[in-house]
Amino acid sequence: MKDLITTGRLTLRWPSLDDVDALSTLAGEFEIACMTGSFPHPFPPLAAEFRLMFLKQQWRQGLAFPYAITLDGDELIGMVDLFRKTTDDDFELGYWVGKPYWGQGYATEAARALMQQARTTLGIDRIQAGVFTDNPASLRVLQKLGFVITGHDDTYFSMARMQNAESHLLELNLDNLKAA
């Protein structure tokens, strides 16, 4: 995977320890953390630093390809990631964007660019995603990209909520990735 992926408005880059404060602040807001499985609330800087080091280790093993979403290659406004538990599993798409940047299409644009790069670089043809049923904005992002609900709804643990929550499972054949 490339170190930098650019779109018309965004630069996706490897997240660094310089992103700790923005990650802690933006992703630590309950409205964001509760829509992920792995973000705590609150999200202290030490936890954010650990998260970034963990992601770097996952990248080295080919288990995750996280990118900081930026407007100019500098300050993190969100993240987009392809990840899997083992090298035999399909990749799953994850993303979040800080509240000040909601409603501007950044999640869709970043996810599309990452999946196009993964298709080219990794040769993958299928990606999965999960979304909590009480997150219609994220479901809309996935549908705009061409994901379809598999019909196998489930519950998934949210660290910020400290409980399981209902979720939809979705899938995308990259041949069906919708253009911008």
Calculate mean pLDDT across residues 88-104: 97
> What confidence category does residue 3 fall into, taking pLDDT thresholds of 50, 70 and 90?
very high
Distance CA 6, CA 11 (A): 5
Residue-wise pLDDT for 69-83, tens only, equals 999 989 999 999 999
> What confidence category does residue 178 fall into, taking pLDDT thresholds of 50, 70 and 90?
confident
Average pLDDT, the chain: 95
Selected from 3.90.105.10, 3.30.70.20, 3.40.630.30, 3.40.140.10, the CATH number assigned to the domain covering 4-176 reads 3.40.630.30
pLDDT of residue 179 exceeding 80, the answer is no
Calculate mean pLDDT across residues 156-177: 94
Calculate mean pLDDT across residues 39-68: 96
pTM listed for this prediction: 0.95
| Domain boundaries along the sequence of the chain | 4-176
Distance CA 84, CA 65 (A): 9
